[in-house]
């Protein structure tokens, strides 16, 4: 089986299996999870040990941990994916527009991005979510606010990469020929620059997805990400942290899921990067 015209390596297959497994779990969570994500079991109690009916035990208020981890896959991965798609849509469009639109457009967009990059991302996100989260969440929902904030902040990194790649493409002869034919700015971006900028951007998509995945988990851990009763791996680590003091393993299961998903994505990204780094005459069977 070939993907992108190349045969995956063993490590790439491991990553594909891990990511595909989590995607299947997230998509079919209502059918896979043994219990609803918000159901509590008062007769079992909090931090109950694993049993035949609850394989991972219960959390701090008596909910089934296995069900929470399964539903958490849908929430955490889904938000990270939507955030990455939106950030790339914003970053690629603005980055390519900065190169094709002229010096004035380039300077305005570049300086705006420089200002945003000068503030640490986590601090910037905490400030924006704290100030505007409660203002807009009643109108468009807390998850939508979270996705939009992270996407806008992360798009600055995509902007820098897409602008850098486009600067090497825009000076080529076929782009100049398109200008001389009288083609418009968006036609040049869509038909001449974007197709040739896709290989490095695909690799960057995997890296940004991994970063956003961890970033969503970190914000949930700090209490500004996904809000209860929705299951989220980062929030589950925070909610069940006290279990470590009584010998429980409740926070370790979502932490392990975060680590495993991160490893899987990185294995796939490493393979894609190795494909892009090969000389054009290299064999796909290497």
Q: Where are the domains of the chain?
A: 10-277
Nearest CA to 122 among 9, 224, 7, 247?
Answer: 224
Dihedrals φ, ψ of 281, to 5°? -95, 0
| pLDDT for the residue numbered 28 | 93
CA distance 233 to 65: 11
CATH architecture of the domain with range 10-277: Orthogonal Bundle (1.10)
Q: What is residue 138's predicted lDDT score, i.e. its pLDDT? A: 52
Exposure letters 73-87 (e unless 16+ CB within 10 A, then b): bbbbbbbbbbbbbbb
> Which residues lie below 8 Å from residue 140, measured CB to CB, with a gap of 6+?
none
Q: What is the pLDDT of residue 70?
A: 93
Rounded mean pLDDT of the chain? 82
- Residue 170 CA from chain centroid, whole number: 29
Model pTM score: 0.82
pLDDT in tens, 162-212: 888 888 887 778 777 877 777 777 777 777 787 777 777 877 888 888 888
Helices (H), 40-189: 65-100, 103-117, 121-140, 142-169, 173-180, 185-188
DSSP 221: H
Tell me the C-alpha distance between 231 and 23, whole Å: 16
Mind listing the pLDDT tens digit for each residue in 56-83?
888 888 889 999 999 999 988 998 899 9
pLDDT in tens, 199-242: 778 778 888 888 888 888 888 777 777 777 788 888 888 888 88
């Amino acid at each position: 089986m070939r993907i992108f015209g190349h045969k995956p390596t063993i490590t790439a297959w491991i990553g594909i299996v891990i990511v595909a497994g989590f995607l299947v779990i997230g998509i079919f969570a209502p059918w896979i999870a043994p219990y609803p994500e918000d159901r509590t079991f008062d007769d079992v109690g909090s931090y109950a040990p694993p049993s035949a009916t609850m394989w991972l035990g219960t959390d701090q208020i008596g909910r089934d941990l296995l069900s929470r981890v399964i539903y958490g896959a849908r929430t955490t991965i889904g938000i990270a994916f939507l955030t990455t798609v939106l950030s790339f849509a914003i970053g690629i469009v603005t980055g390519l527009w900065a190169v094709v639109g002229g010096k004035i457009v380039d300077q305005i967009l570049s300086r705006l991005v420089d200002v945003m990059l000068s503030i640490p991302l986590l601090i910037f996100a905490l400030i924006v979510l704290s100030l505007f989260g409660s203002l807009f969440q009643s109108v468009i929902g807390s998850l939508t606010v979270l996705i939009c904030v992270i996407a806008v902040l992360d798009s600055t990194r995509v902007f820098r990469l897409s602008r850098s790649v486009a600067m090497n493409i825009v000076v080529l002869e076929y782009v100049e020929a398109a200008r001389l034919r009288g083609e418009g700015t968006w036609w040049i971006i869509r038909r001449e620059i974007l197709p040739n900028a896709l290989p490095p951007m695909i690799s960057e998509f995997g890296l940004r997805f991994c970063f956003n995945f961890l970033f969503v988990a970190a914000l949930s851990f700090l209490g500004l990400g996904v809000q209860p009763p929705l299951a989220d791996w980062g929030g589950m680590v925070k909610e069940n942290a006290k279990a470590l003091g009584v010998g429980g393993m409740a926070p370790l299961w979502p932490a392990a899921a975060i680590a495993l998903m991160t490893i899987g994505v990185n294995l796939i990204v490493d393979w894609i990067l190795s494909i892009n780094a090969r000389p054009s005459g290299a064999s796909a069977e290497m």
